[in-house]
């Protein structure tokens, strides 16, 4: 037996009238629910047979984790692993991305080592300096693109409505996308490291490399709030490429990916230091190039933790507000 809410629903078929319906109306049309919905538990007194609809139970941790893994697996298989050429390009793509920075740096500095670079950063080997900065920032950009396109890609695939109506927390949905982006970004790390070791003779303190990985993991969560904000804007305004290219270009300008932070104007330096990507780049270079301990990077770690505990709740709250705005405008179904 299929439960349905009481009353005539035909009058509520147009998008602009959806705002008059309770936020949990679609749950009452489902034959069964085993996961937490974004609706309130309630009992329906007006459905067929006079029986009461049982309250929707809360999602268990095992169920939420299973849903998270399913979302990550789906994203990896559909977008990436299904196409072997994408996997191959993920390993060789770093060469194309890093080459302009290395060529330009060698032309300006006259070689791989530079006293000017050392005076500004304490690091003399230019290829190693560029490789570390590229690893950290490109991983951040990958996460931002996948998170921001989490909603838009489903519209492209024609699965947005089905996923949006699925009774799973939106936070779980985005965490699954975050897991997929972190796994996919790991291929980029391997490609850059192979390029650095086999071609560029990078000078790493490899005993500090696990600490750098820890910093990168913290960066993923620190950037999660930015991804939620961008996803919320894409949900309402639909235009994703223009927004993401602007944010991508802005971060590429002020984050010291391939040049020292000291060459920026003081105002931009202050803005850059407040960004989690900049702090992750600085900490990673200090760890694997200069051999400093993670404990010495207290300022960078503090800023990353602040973004994790502040930006994520704010970003999720912003996304939910934009979601409510999209519902009121009746644009969820629009391409």
pLDDT tens across 240-257, in order?
A: 667 777 887 888 888 888
Classify residue 294 as exposed, middle or buried by CB count within 10 Å of its CB (0-12, 13-18, 19+). Answer: middle
Strand partners, 113: 125
Report helix, strand or coil for 51.
coil
Q: What is the pLDDT of residue 318?
A: 92
Full domain range(s) for residue 14:
10-50
State the average pLDDT over residues 163-190.
79
Has residue 175 been placed in a domain? Answer: yes
State the average pLDDT over residues 99-120.
81
Q: What is the pLDDT of residue 286?
A: 93
Has residue 170 been placed in a domain? Answer: yes
Same domain, 76 and 126: yes
Q: Among 142, 140, 162, 137, which Cα is nearest to 151's?
A: 162
Non-local CB neighbours of 146 within 8 Å, separated by 6+ positions: 75, 177, 180, 181, 184, 227
Same domain, 33 and 142: no
Same domain, 248 and 111: yes
Interval 293-302: pLDDT, tens: 998 999 999 9
Q: What gap in Å lies between CA 255 and CA 14, rounded to an integer?
A: 46
In whole numbers, what is the pLDDT of the chain averaged over residues?
76
Same domain, 76 and 36: no
Q: What is the pLDDT of residue 218?
A: 92
Same domain, 28 and 109: no
Same domain, 308 and 177: yes
Stronger pLDDT, 280 or 25, i.e. the higher one: 280
Has residue 22 been placed in a domain? Answer: yes
Same domain, 95 and 157: yes
Total number of domains constituting the chain: 2
Same domain, 66 and 139: yes
Stronger pLDDT, 309 or 160, i.e. the higher one: 309
Same domain, 306 and 158: yes
pTM of the model: 0.73
Has residue 311 been placed in a domain? Answer: yes
Same domain, 26 and 137: no
Report helix, strand or coil for 113.
strand
Has residue 66 been placed in a domain? Answer: yes
Has residue 334 been placed in a domain? Answer: no
Same domain, 142 and 244: yes
Q: What is the pLDDT of residue 201?
A: 84
Has residue 335 been placed in a domain? Answer: no
Same domain, 133 and 271: yes
- Flag whether pLDDT at 287 surpasses 90: yes
Has residue 26 been placed in a domain? Answer: yes
């Amino acid at each position: 037996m299929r439960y349905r809410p009481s009353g005539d629903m035909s009058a509520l078929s147009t998008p602009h009238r959806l705002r008059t319906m309770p936020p949990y109306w679609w749950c009452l049309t489902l034959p069964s629910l085993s996961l937490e919905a974004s609706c309130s538990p309630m009992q329906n007194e007006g459905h067929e047979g006079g029986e009461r609809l049982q309250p929707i139970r809360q999602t268990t941790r095992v169920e939420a984790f299973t849903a998270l893994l399913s979302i990550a697996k789906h994203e990896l298989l559909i977008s990436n692993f299904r196409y072997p050429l994408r996997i191959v390009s993920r390993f060789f793509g770093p060469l194309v991305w890093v080459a302009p920075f290395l060529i330009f740096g060698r032309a300006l500095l006259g070689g791989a080592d530079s006293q000017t670079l050392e005076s500004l950063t304490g690091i003399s080997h230019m290829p190693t300096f560029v490789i570390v900065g590229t690893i950290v920032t490109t991983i951040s950009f990958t996460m931002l693109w996948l998170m921001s396109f989490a909603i838009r890609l489903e519209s492209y695939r024609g699965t947005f409505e089905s996923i949006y109506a699925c009774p799973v927390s939106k936070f779980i949905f985005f965490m699954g996308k975050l897991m997929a982006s972190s796994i996919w970004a790991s291929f980029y790390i391997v490609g850059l490291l192979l390029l650095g070791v086999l071609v560029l003779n990078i000078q790493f303190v490899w005993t500090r490399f696990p600490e750098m990985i820890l910093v990168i993991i913290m960066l993923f969560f620190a950037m999660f709030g930015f991804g939620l904000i961008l996803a919320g804007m894409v949900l309402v305004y639909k235009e994703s490429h223009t927004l993401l290219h602007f944010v991508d270009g802005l971060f590429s300008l002020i984050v010291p990916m391939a040049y020292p932070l000291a060459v920026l104007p003081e105002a931009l330096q202050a803005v850059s230091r407040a960004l989690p990507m900049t702090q992750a780049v600085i900490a990673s270079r200090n760890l694997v190039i200069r051999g400093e301990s993670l404990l010495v990077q207290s300022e960078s770690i503090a800023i990353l933790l602040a973004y994790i505990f502040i930006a994520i709740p704010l970003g999720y709250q912003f996304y939910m507000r934009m979601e409510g705005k999209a519902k009121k405008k009746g644009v969820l179904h629009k391409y």
